[in-house]
Structure 1
Amino acid sequence: MELFDSSALVQCIREAVRNELKTILKEKRNLSSDPKKEESLLTKKEMADELDISLVTLTDWMKKGLPYHRLHSRIYFRKEDVFNSMKSFSK
């Protein structure tokens, strides 16, 4: 005896995935229609490599105000924000 109808479960999962993909595509279209150029986020390692510094130094700079974004438990940087922030520190 089945506790649930497996075909109904499969159909429910397909519908949920389809709806999620539609939402993601819609958001992506809205972002790409933005006249501002699309900018990707860099990981801590990528940002440290870009600045040619160690991860320890990058973490220290973050504590001192280097702008970053937290998405769940991960940290990301917008290159433009970091470089603009560094320009203001050098003045």
Structure 2
Amino acid sequence: MEIISNEALSRCIRDAVRAELQEHFKTGGSTGNVSRERLLSKQELAAELGVSLVTLTEWMKKGLPFFRLHKRVYFRMSEVLETMQQKI
């Protein structure tokens, strides 16, 4: 007993994905409170702050906020500056 055919299911999924993508691009990809701030790599942040990668790694161990995406580490400059101001 088949409730819905494979072709009809496939069409429903395609239509739903298409609608979600259209909505995503209409709103510019924003999803509420998610910040659109560019993420900086470890190398970029170290260069921006004028410190070595070793120093940056030590700061991360002491609580510098960062994101890990797979094996890579990223930072939001606003969060880094806010944390540094609080700890001074």
How does the TM-score come out when normalised to structure 1? 0.63
The structure carrying a bigger helix percent of its residues is: 1
Shift of 1:29: 1.8
Shift of 1:84: 0.1
The answer for the alignment partner of 2:28 in structure 1 is 29
Q: Which runs of 4+ in 1 moved over 3 A?
A: 33-37
Identity %: 44
Shift of 1:34: 5.7
Show structure 2 runs of 5+ residues with no match: 1-13
Work out the number of aligned pairs and report it.
73
RMSD: 3.4
Choose from 58, 75, 78 the match for 1:60: 58
How does the TM-score come out when normalised to structure 2? 0.65
Show structure 1 runs of 5+ residues with no match: 1-15
Map 1:1-91; keep pairs closer than 5 Å.
Answer: 23=21, 26=24, 29-31=28-30, 38-90=36-88
